[in-house]
Amino acid sequence: MPELNAESIAFRSALDVVRSVEPRIADAIAQELTDQRESLKLIASENYASPAVLLAMGNWLSDKYAEGTVGRRFYAGCQNVDIVESVAAEHAKALFGAPYAYVQPHSGIDANLVAYWAILADRVEVPYLKKFEKRQINDLTDAEWAELRQAFGNQRLLGMSLDAGGHLTHGFRPNISGKMFDQRSYGVDPATGQIDYAALLESAKEFKPAVIVGGYSAYPRKVNFAKMREIADEVGATFMVDMAHFAGLVAGGVFTGDFNPIEHAHIVTTTTHKSLRGPRGGAVFCQPELAPQVDRGCPMVLGGPLPHVMAAKAIAFAEARRPEFATYAQQIVTNSQALAEGLLKRGVQLVSGGTDNHLVLLDVHPFGITGRQAEQALLDSGIVTNRNAIPNDPNGAWYTSGIRVGTPALTSRGLGVAEMDQIADLIHTVLAATTPAEGSKAKFTLDPALADRISKQATELLAPFPLYPSVDLG
């Protein structure tokens, strides 16, 4: 019998220990690996973190409370957490060429909240804290909200509209950012599907926002952050970029110059688990002037730091500094463009007609189906995507008319241009075979034999590209 490698021993042993307490959890963890291995994952926001990243999270660093910042904690005995946090920040700064990095945020939403409060605290005198600190933020009445906003000068935020690819945390009502700010959206030029910078400038001049937010979850093109900074400067706004989705492309040197947000924004937020391929988490980068406010993230809006996750972030940032990561980042885009080509050549309509980044947005309207129907039909055929609104979506944000696909995860597995063309074919075949049920935006018919055949083809396509090849659970 061949000797087991370190990763296999580590994960097998960890599962044995977990199984001794609650076997169902051990089984679910093991099953998740099997399921991930078998699924053709085109979800643009997901990826596969390395074994080193995963293992850095499963330990006693988790036991430590460490509110505050490096060297200035509200708890004793944080010497090891200090090392973890400073090494993570050091790698993060070097990776992105950023003057300052705050690696505590637990998620992308949290990173945005830290950034918003930092911006507001930096711009506005803050007598509000005394009055509201003993209240739960959700308990405030509308009148109190108005007062709180007034304390901040009734601040305005200009962000990308949801149907153009913006994110809920960019000032929309279901997220607290929509309660903190009066939001106005900028969108895309209907003719090109790309950001209309002239309209953005006009809107900024008229609305006079305190904050302009760049960044997106479902926009398939590069964004000219240099131009957006000029607009922000012209109206005196703070320019924030949320690079949650495309941080890996910035880290890997795909987005440079005008398209690198770190060079142009006052403050940049990110997740660490999407194209960056780290643990679930967030981070904030900023100019030194904003750092003291960013450092107040915990306890302003964050619970105690997660030292085990910061350890995993340090590993992920270190991995992303290697030359292989730049190759990976470039391949994400090459694959995404190959997928777009493959779809276009089969007559599938794409928002903006193509892609410059890791994602492609399909307009499924010409197939006579909704995004909801397309998403389920593809899932029934073994292809995991998600539905997404498209600009001026006639089916709204729930049913939608779009399907978002992304290549970071499959590129991590090693799939390339040839496989992207095959995947385009599978997607096209399923969409063309899906018939909406009379009068329904959710129900549809799809020949089960066809779904089964596509599903088998998807599995065959993945076979030469094993996921976590170094991990053998036995």
Ligand X SMILES: *Cc1c(COP(=O)(O)O)cnc(C)c1O
Active site amino acids: 65, 67, 242, 271, 274, 280
Ligand-binding site membership of 215 (annotated): no
Residues 188-247 that bind ligand X (CB under 6 A): 215-217, 242, 244-245
Binding piece for ligand X, criterion CB under 6 A, among 9-17, 103-111, 182-190, 309-317: 103-111
Q: Which of 47, 177, 271, 400 binds ligand X (CB under 6 A)?
A: 271
Nearer residue to ligand X within complex by CB, 15 or 251: 251
Nearer to ligand X, 151 or 306 (CB): 306
Site for ligand X in 358-377 (CB under 6 A): none
Q: How far is the CB of 90 from ligand X (least distance, A)?
A: 23
Comparison of 178 and 416: residue with beta carbon closer to ligand X: 178
Binding residue (CB under 6 A) for ligand X from 39, 69, 107, 386:
107
Nearer to ligand X, 112 or 373 (CB): 112
To ligand X, the closest distance from the beta carbon of 102 in angstroms equals 15
Binding mask 27-46 for ligand X (x = CB under 6 A): ------------------x-
- Determine the Cα–Cα distance for residues 183 and 158; give it in Å rounded to an integer: 6
Residue nearest to ligand X (CB): 108
Q: How far is the CB of 38 from ligand X (least distance, A)?
A: 24
- For the CB of residue 107, give the shortest distance to ligand X in the complex, in Å: 3
The distance of closest approach from Cβ of residue 427 to ligand X in the complex, given in angstroms and rounded to an integer, is 22
Nearer to ligand X, 245 or 365 (CB): 245
Smallest gap from residue 386 Cβ to ligand X (A) = 12
Where does this chain touch ligand X (CB under 6 A) — which range of 86-94, 106-114, 189-197, 416-424? Answer: 106-114
Residue 308 annotated as part of some ligand binding site? no
Report which residue type is found at 257.
G
241 — phi, psi (to 5°)? Answer: -125, 130
Q: For the segment 110-129, give every residue that binds ligand X (CB under 6 A).
A: 112
Query: For 270, how many CA atoms within 13 A lie in the half-sphere containing its CB?
Result: 32
Between 243 and 410, CB nearer to ligand X: 243
Measured from the CB of residue 340, what is the shortest distance to ligand X in angstroms? 20
106 is in an annotated binding site: no
Q: Which is nearer to ligand X, 278 or 382 (CB)?
A: 278
As given in the structure block, the two tokens for residue 414 are: 């090693």
Question: Which one, of 455, 426, 438, lies nearest residue 368 by Cα?
Answer: 438
Structure tokens that stand for 208 in this block: 């006079």
Torsion (CA) 180, 391, 377, 413 in degrees, nearest 10: -70
Per-residue contact string for residues 62-101; x = within reach of ligand X by CB under 6 A: ----------------------------------------
183 binds ligand X (CB under 6 A): no
Distances 466 to 48, 112, 362, 382, 472 between C-alpha atoms, Å: 12, 35, 27, 16, 11
428 labelled binding-site residue: no
What token pair was written down for 164? 């153009």
Q: Which of 51, 68, 108, 159 binds ligand X (CB under 6 A)?
A: 108
Nearby residues of 21 by Cβ (< 8 Å), 6 or more positions away: none
- Please work out the total of residues on this chain that contact ligand X, with binding judged by CB under 6 A: 15
What is the smallest separation between the CB atom of 213 and ligand X, expressed in angstroms? 9
Binding mask 282-311 for ligand X (x = CB under 6 A): x-----------------------------
d(CA 17, CA 193): 52
- Here the tokens at position 170 are 């960019």
Q: From CA 9, how far away is CA 15, in angstroms rounded?
A: 10
Q: How far apart are the first and last CA of the chain?
A: 12
| Cα–Cα distance measured from residue 438 to residue 448, given in angstroms and rounded to the nearest whole number | 19
Reported as half-sphere exposure (CB side, CA atoms, 13 A), residue 155 has a value of: 27
Site string for ligand X, 134-173 (x = CB under 6 A): ---------------------------------x-x----
* Site of interaction with ligand X (CB under 6 A): 45, 107-109, 112, 167, 169, 215-217, 242, 244-245, 271, 282
Binding residues for (6S)-5,6,7,8-tetrahydrofolate are 162, 166-168
